[in-house]
Amino acid sequence: MTETEGTGSPEYERERVPEPALRGAGSFWGMYAGEHTAGTEFMIGPLFLAAGASLQDLVLGLLLGNLLAVITWRYLVTPIAMAKRYTLYYQLERIAGSGLVKFYNLVNGVLFCFLAGAMITVSASAVGVPFGILFSVPEDTFGFGETTFTGLVVGVGVIISLVAAAGYGMVSRVANIAAPWMIAVFIGCGVVALGQMGVHSWSAFREGAFWSDAIAFVRARHGPTEFSFLQIVIFAWLCNSAMHFGMADLSIFRFAREAASGWAPSIGMFLGHYVAWIAAGLLLAAQIKLLQDTSANPGALAWRSMGWTGIICVVIAGWTTANPTIYRSGLAFQGIFPKSSRVTMTLLAGGVATIAGMFPNLSAKLLGFVGLYGTILGPMGAIIFVDHYWMRRFGLIEEWANVEGKRINIAVLIAWLLPVVVSLYLIFRWDLFAAYAVVPSWIASGCLYLGLCKLLHRQFSERQEPIAKVNS
Amino acid sequence: MKTALKWVSLAALLGSILPSVFLLTEIISHETANLIALSGTIVWFLITPFWMGVSR
């Protein structure tokens, strides 16, 4: 299983990245710029406005939240990545056992598919605009949109899946080239939207009447709605929690030569997220002012703002992020069935993503889904954190599954699933904002893992037999 | 040659975004702004691959 079929470079999937393969800080900036300027930014930005977030809260809250995210990447992920030099999957296998990692791969792969599905929907919303095929959200959570739009999602999903199955290289190159241009177009969209709303001065922008009028309109039409400063901060901080708290980006930063590389996500957070989300929110505000339409259709929003350039941006933004997401999902599935081909598993992942994309409500509920994603996958990062920093300090065995030759580390299984189950109960039964559950479940998972290891595993000093390695 | 191409790409990038600023100040029409932005987009994607390497 290789992550870079099509690029020609080795991936060191089951070994430490050697010194000659390490990269300087500059290597990571372009990747993070492209990865976080995605089609879903066109969806998330308007959702903030539709949820009732005030402009001041958005401007300040996103600043703080994205700063916290960057700090988490820099000080939580990068040190462990540089110390271990393993992929997330191999690091987890050494701690949790190969059997448990297969289950993690299944969960990870399915969640990636749903995320990719939202991106396919966003791309389809843009492709459909010139043909008059519009994206609309049905009442039912699992309801389809218009038949023509559903067909369009299938078509776009098939194309994206075939390209993902063909390999990572070409998409990676297009994403690198497109990244600076996408950021420029997002900025352009925001500026045009301001002009459409008659905001021609800094004082008019600061006053923010265009935004508060839009929120008032949304509330009049859809009922009371509010998105607090704290929710904005937490969402911005934790929307990529699978990557930082969940340690998925160990796979990226294991190649870092310098710790300063850990600051690279800042370009994605402040240009990709911060600027793009506010710009996309402005697009919806303009649509509400001009057309009294509150539907967050990314393609239509971009078309009304920058015409064909906006359409192309939505398509490319959705495609260049859906592709690697489907690719990673395919790898995760291949981890479950090692004898299967990457192409088959990638097409399977693409199929699941396309089916998910056929339900427009998934995109409409992206704010909640992203928090859910982090809540489910984040706790594994706590286990990695505790294993790296505290196992030896408490006289316990680091990378227990690897040392003891076990396929399942029960302590990991319980420490991961128990906080997740409790969090899911609070989210679905008590309507807890999903992103609120990420940090508490992470902390609970780490504490549980430490306690369970004390209870279930023998001490490091008691180990008499030679070290047993899990077969690679 | 590579430097020249980089300057062309930069101009194209500015061409993708500056029309929106001109539109904000009502110097040009929306249609004209969209046309300039689209031209900048086409030039960016035609020229940039010749000098931007793969970094992923």
**pLDDT per residue over A160-206, tens digit each?**
898 888 866 777 778 888 888 998 999 999 999 998 898 888 888 88
* Residue B2 C-alpha, separation from nearest chain A C-alpha, in angstroms: 15
Q: What is the mean pLDDT of chain A?
A: 87
Question: Most B CBs within 10 Å: which of A5, A172, A191, A312, as the mutation test of the B interface?
Answer: A191
What distance in Å separates the CA atoms of residue A412 and residue A99, rounded to the nearest whole number? 12
Share of chain A above pLDDT 70, in %: 94
Closest CA to A297 of A24, A7, A42, A3: A42
CB neighbours (10 Å) of residue A99?
14
CB contact under 8 A, A173 and B21: no
pLDDT of residue A390: 94
ipTM of the complex: 0.84
Instruction: Produce one character per residue of A14-39: b if its CB has 16 or more CB atoms within 10 Å, e if not.
Output: eeebeeeebeeeebbbbbbbbbbbbb
**Amino acid found at A118:** A
Q: How far is A248 from A30, CA to CA, in rounded Å? A: 18
Within 8 A of A178 by CB-CB distance, chain B residues are: 45
User: What b/e sequence results for A114-152 when a residue is b if at least 16 CB atoms lie within 10 Å of its CB, and e otherwise?
Assistant: bbbbbbbbbbbbbbbbeeebbbebeeeeeeebeeebbeb
What confidence score (pLDDT) does residue A163 get? Answer: 85
- B9, B13, B14, B17, best to mutate vs chain A, most A CBs in 10 Å: B17
CA separation for the pair A285, A290 (Å, rounded) = 9
Measure CA of the first residue to CA of the last residue in chain A; give whole Å.
Answer: 12
The chain B residue lying nearest A185, using CA atoms, is: B17
Is B24's CB within 8 Å of A200's CB?
yes
- Those residues of chain B whose CB sits closer than 8 Å to some CB in chain A are 13-14, 16-17, 19-21, 23-26, 30-31, 33-34, 37-38, 40-41, 44-45, 48-49, 52, 54-56
Residues A371 and A237: their CA atoms lie apart, in Å, by 10
Verdict on whether the full-model pTM lies above 0.95: no
Cβ distance B16 to A181 less than 8 Å, yes or no, reads yes
Structure tokens at A26: 């500059």
CA distances from A97 to A77, A242, A411 (A): 21, 20, 11
Q: Work out the minimum CA distance from A194 to partner chain B, whole angstroms.
A: 7
* Minimum-distance CB partner of A195 among B23, B37, B40: B23
Write out the two tokens for A124.
């389809």
Q: How far is the alpha carbon of A397 from chain B, nearest alpha carbon, in Å? A: 35
Contact A31, A266 (CB under 8 A): no
**Alpha-carbon distance B20 to nearest alpha carbon in chain A (angstroms):** 5
Of B17, B26, B55, the CB nearest to A30: B55
Coil vs helix vs strand at A23: strand
Nearest to A97 by CA among A380, A407, A404: A407
Looking at residue A467, its pLDDT comes to 46
A306's tokens: 């920058």
Cβ distance B24 to A312 less than 8 Å, yes or no, reads no
Local structure of A292: helix, strand or coil: coil
Cβ-Cβ contacts under 8 Å, B50 against chain A: none
pLDDT for B19 equals: 76
Interface contact A7, partner B, CB < 8 A:
yes
- The H or E element containing residue A299 is helix A298-336
* pLDDT computed for residue A143 by the predictor: 74
Q: What single letter denotes the amino acid at residue A256?
A: A
C-beta atoms surrounding A422 within 10 Å: 14
With contact defined as beta carbons under 8 Å apart, do A297 and A38 qualify?
no
Q: Who's near A346: CB < 8 A, 6+ residues apart?
A: A161, A164, A165, A326, A327, A329, A330
Burial A367-380 (b: 16+ CB within 10 A, else e): bbbbbbbbbbbbbb
Q: What is the pLDDT of residues A415-451, one digit of tens each?
A: 999 999 999 999 999 999 999 999 999 999 999 999 9
Pick the residue from chain B with its C-alpha nearest to A302: B34
Q: Where are the alpha helices (DSSP H) in A337-459?
A: 342-357, 360-364, 366-389, 400-404, 410-430, 438-456
Give mean pLDDT, residues A246-260.
92
**Is A307's pLDDT higher than 60?**
yes
Percent of chain A with pLDDT over 90: 51
Closest CA relative to residue A133, chosen from A147, A119, A122: A147
**Which of A31, A175, A309 is opposite residue B41, by nearest beta carbon?**
A309
* CB within 8 Å: A7 and B54: yes
State which amino acid sits at residue A395.
Answer: G
For residue A465, the number of C-alpha atoms closer than 13 Å in the C-beta half-sphere is 7
Residues 6+ apart with CB under 8 A from A313: A181, A182, A185, A186, A189, A302, A306
* Chain A CA closest to residue B21: A191
Q: Is A24 on the interface with B (CB under 8 A)?
A: no
From A463's Cα to the closest Cα of chain B, the distance in A is 42
CA distance A308 to chain B (A): 7
If you measure CA to CA, which chain A residue comes closest to B43? A181
Residue A460 scores a pLDDT above 80: no
Residues of A in contact with B33 (CB under 8 A): 192, 306
Q: How far is CA A322 from CA A39, A163, A209, A347, B12, in A?
A: 9, 10, 36, 13, 26
Average pLDDT over residues B18-35: 79
